[in-house]
Structure 1
Amino acid sequence: MAAACSRNHHRESRHSALGLFSAGNNMSCKSLWTLALLALTLSRCVADDDHEMEEFLKREYSLSKPYQGVGSLGSSHWELMGDAMVTTEQVRLTPDMQSRQGAVWGRMPCHLKDWEMQVHFKIHGKGKKNLNGDGLAIWYTKERTQKGPVFGNMDNFTGLGVFVDTYPNEEKQLEAQKKRYSPRTQRIFPFVLAMVGNGSISYDHERDGRPTELGGCNAMVRNLKHDTFLFIRYVRRRLTVMIDIDGQHEWRDCLDIPGVRLPEGYYFGATAVTGDLSDNHDIISLKLYQLTVLRSKKEEQEEEEDQITIPSVDNMDLLRLELVEERMSGVAIFFTVLFSMLGFIFLIVIGLVVYSHWNERRRKRFY
């Protein structure tokens, strides 16, 4: 229900409203009031669990044109790093050049309990398919302005990372070893995935983050003529990621994970990196909305008693087991079952031999 409401809100309120207001000179006062009531109605949604929800744009955590003062000391809520630069049309995290790294980080910690981030981005370059890289990331983390190997940010981070990965590292390594994925485990790049870190979990760059991902989806976002958007919602300890990349102004589901625990007071940011291959990684806007969700007194009391200090995901072991099972090919499952049965039979044989020797010694004792 929330996803459907958000799709309508994104399509009608975000994209169409500008076109409607551009004809404002020809609209009557009555029409304006009707439009205002429509916008107010669209801004009210219902959460997945039938809780009424409202959203409010928080400008102090948002980044949009004309990017006034971005990167300058003391005059903006946002700070630039590395090769990032501001133009009239976007914040370019990296140019289409090798070995570049850039970032934009919010200066203010976010103390919202429930929130929604809408990212307007663009990835483009001269490289052909699979000859581009490496991708960009959106962050909500305890640390900020720390350079590192995870799409330009530090490894072993604390918080949430949502990655738009444009280069298949593991697949290229398998090709070099003359190996291949099975059709069931192969994924199409670019790929969007999410990860929650607690300060001690490392992102596996060589395996494209598979061991620690919460889920993801393929997203063909390079060199598109229309706008591309990423949607990240965190409400009632549930993480939802959706994408709008088809030019239809509709959100498409990417992942939806309950039991995600993120502390308040972390920082939002966006980073990107290039290596031997490159792309332009542009952020057009980061818009953060505060979500007001009605809770019962019991729910509020339970959340107050269960304060979150370290990021975590409930039942993460089960989630990883499900991911492993989904990716196992039929051949892998066959050999797993086969060797398990052989091991079980071997243990039975050993047990029978030991029992036979013990029984024989016991009989000799009586004669």
Structure 2
Amino acid sequence: MSINTIVLTSTNQLLFILVSSLVICVNINAEWNTKDYMKREHSLIKPFQGSGMTIPYWDFMGSTIVTNNYVRLTPDLQSKQGALWNSVPCGVRNWELQVHFKVHGKGKDLYGDGFAIWYAKDRMSPGPVFGNMDYHHGLAIILDTYSNHNGPHNHQHPYISAMINNGTLHYDHDRDGTHTQLAGCEAKFRNLDHDTHIAIRYEHDVLTVSTDIENKAAWKECLSVKGVRLPTNYYFGMSAATGDLSDTHDVLSVRLYELDIPDDPKDVEEDRSQISPSAAFFEPPRDHVEDPKPSSLSGIKIFLLMLVGSIAIIACVVIGIMLYQKHQENSRKRFY
């Protein structure tokens, strides 16, 4: 055997040993970080269609349609509701949900209503809150695009807000839920040519919502609230609704990650499956100002009232002029 052959053989053996060691290290690290991965039973990645019209681990209802590339909750038509719900309850304590979505439509100044991302006790329950039930139990992240407002507001739309409900709170749609929200931010995510994403992170009772809507491939914090207590074994879902105004609401992907963070001994001992959703902080509620009640008079009645009023005013003016002229004539007669 030549010296070159011996050197080549030794080199190959050395490379084999190095590659084997690297594979072993990678496998060990993978086992050490078993929690730091995407939970497929709570995630949705295209192509979406499974066998027939079903999606593994997910159910849909209402106006929702499923294609290979997106799940459309509502088309750009009036009075539509659609929803997409995970069929597996989430037992993860600390998690991050990332949703790739798109909201678009023909309206330039008037559009709506918006959609919501849910972590809720009850699933597949249609209702008036962006296609889901009112008085729900759990967390709602609301992406409100409704551009025609009633009552006082101090923000522009689209608007993202967070709400915690234990089944006793009513979502006041006419006031954009400002009386029950934890916090919120403006976010211009509608009719963009690039991808739009939202991340909802729940870690050690801190709720953080971030967006990636500026095509920078970076998260921008929208809100962060401490003291949020959420039960385990609730369901993730998305719903959308249109009314007199409309938009297309599409879901392009959903990814849930279990966070690989050190466990708090108190968290390990506490059973979160039976607690009620709660929050230690709410934004100060604004005064609830009722909208003026619409007049019960029809257009014809209003026109007739205006006509009678105009005639009365003209009559008063004519009578006034006649009395003035009469007074002037009487004054001239006294001088003669």
TM-score (norm 1): 0.66
Aligned twin of 2:249: 281
Q: After superposition, give the CA deviation of every residue in 1:263-297 in whole Å (9 maximum; x if it has no partner).
A: 00111110000011111100000100111221254
Q: Distance in 2 between matches of 1:230 and 1:324?
A: 27
Native 8 Å contact 2:75 2:247 kept in 1: yes
Q: Distance in 2 between matches of 1:142 and 1:105?
A: 11
Equivalent of 2:82 in 102, 113, 129: 102
Aligned twin of 1:111: 91
1:204 aligns with 2:181: no
Aligned twin of 2:202: 234
Aligned twin of 1:127: 107
Q: Distance in 2 between matches of 1:71 and 1:151?
A: 28
1:272 aligns with 2:245: no
Q: Percent of aligned positions with the same letter in both sequences?
A: 47
Q: After superposition, give the CA deviation of every residue in 1:39-65 in whole Å (9 maximum; x if it has no partner).
A: x99xx9xxxxxxxx9631011100110
Q: Higher Cα Rg: structure 1 or 2?
A: 2
Equivalent of 1:55 in 4, 12, 36: 36
TM-score (norm 2): 0.72
**Residues 21-32 of structure 1 mapped to structure 2, 5 A cutoff:** none
Q: CA separation of 1:70/1:198 partners in 2, compared to 1, >3 Å: closer, same or farther?
A: farther
Q: CA separation of 1:194/1:108 partners in 2, compared to 1, >3 Å: closer, same or farther?
A: same
1:311 aligns with 2:277: yes
Q: CA separation of 1:84/1:118 partners in 2, compared to 1, >3 Å: closer, same or farther?
A: same
Aligned twin of 1:222: 190
Aligned residues: 264
Unaligned stretches of 5+ in structure 2? 1-17, 288-336
- SS of residue in 2 equivalent to 1:143: coil
Q: After superposition, give the CA deviation of every residue in 1:95-119 in whole Å (9 maximum; x if it has no partner).
A: 0111111011111111111110000
The Cα of 1:298 is off from its aligned counterpart by 5.2
- SS of residue in 1 equivalent to 2:118: strand
Q: Distance in 2 between matches of 1:298 and 1:196?
A: 22
Aligned twin of 1:144: 123
Native 8 Å contact 1:84 1:91 kept in 2: yes
- SS of residue in 1 equivalent to 2:41: helix
Native 8 Å contact 1:70 1:86 kept in 2: no
Aligned twin of 2:150: 173
Amino acid paired to 1:161: A
Amino acid paired to 1:164: L
Unaligned stretches of 5+ in structure 1? 1-28, 45-52, 175-180, 326-367
Bigger proportion of residues as helix: 1
Aligned twin of 2:134: 155
1:290 aligns with 2:258: yes
Q: Distance in 2 between matches of 1:219 and 1:71?
A: 37
Aligned twin of 2:71: 91
Aligned twin of 1:252: 220
